[in-house]
Amino acid sequence: MELTVKYLENVKFAVHTRGHEVICDQPRDNGGCDAGISPPEFLLASLGACAGYYAAQYLRTRSLPTGGLEVHVLSEKALGPARLAAFQIEVTVPEIEERHKEGVMRAVKACLIHNTLLHAPAIGVVVHTPKASLPAVF
């Protein structure tokens, strides 16, 4: 997987992947124009959408209803270093038997993003600068 993030203006960026574009911006009270969701909100969106995907897969493979499936994700900020310190995933499903609620719980806990956050990946950072073109020598 890969994507490209391009600076637009102020604190606004365009995120491009597989022919899709989404805008990332800061709320007005954080210097942005509120033209898109913020980076931490993207993280919560990833966690919530992944949890929803796994829950829906569980329900569909068992021919259970998916109408009304909803995922709500909350987080808490922490300092030193600045980060999101805790997440709460709340999944609302249609009326199903208790055993299937437990199955949905297991499915959500198997989510790729959930497991990525539980087992922190290595993150490398490289900074590039454009290479100056050399003048032609005659």
Rounded to whole angstroms, the Cα distance separating 71 from 87 reads 12
Residues 101 and 69 in one domain: yes
Q: Is the pLDDT of residue 33 over 70?
A: yes
The model's pTM: 0.89
Residue 114 in any domain: the answer is yes
Interval 39-77: pLDDT, tens: 999 999 999 999 999 999 999 999 999 999 999 999 999
Q: How many domains, the chain?
A: 2
pLDDT of 113 reads: 97
Domain encompassing residue 6 = 1-37
Residues 18 and 48 in one domain: no
Residues 81 and 115 in one domain: yes
> How would DSSP label each residue in 106-128?
HHHHT-HHHHHHHSPPP------
Interval 78-136: pLDDT, tens: 999 999 999 999 999 999 999 999 999 999 999 999 999 999 999 999 999 987 666 66
Three-state DSSP state, 70: strand
Residues 97 and 51 in one domain: yes
pLDDT of 130 reads: 85
Residue 61 in any domain: the answer is yes
For residue 104, give the nearest of 82, 71, 134, 77 by alpha carbon: 71
CA 114 to centroid of chain Cα atoms:
10
Residues 104 and 53 in one domain: yes
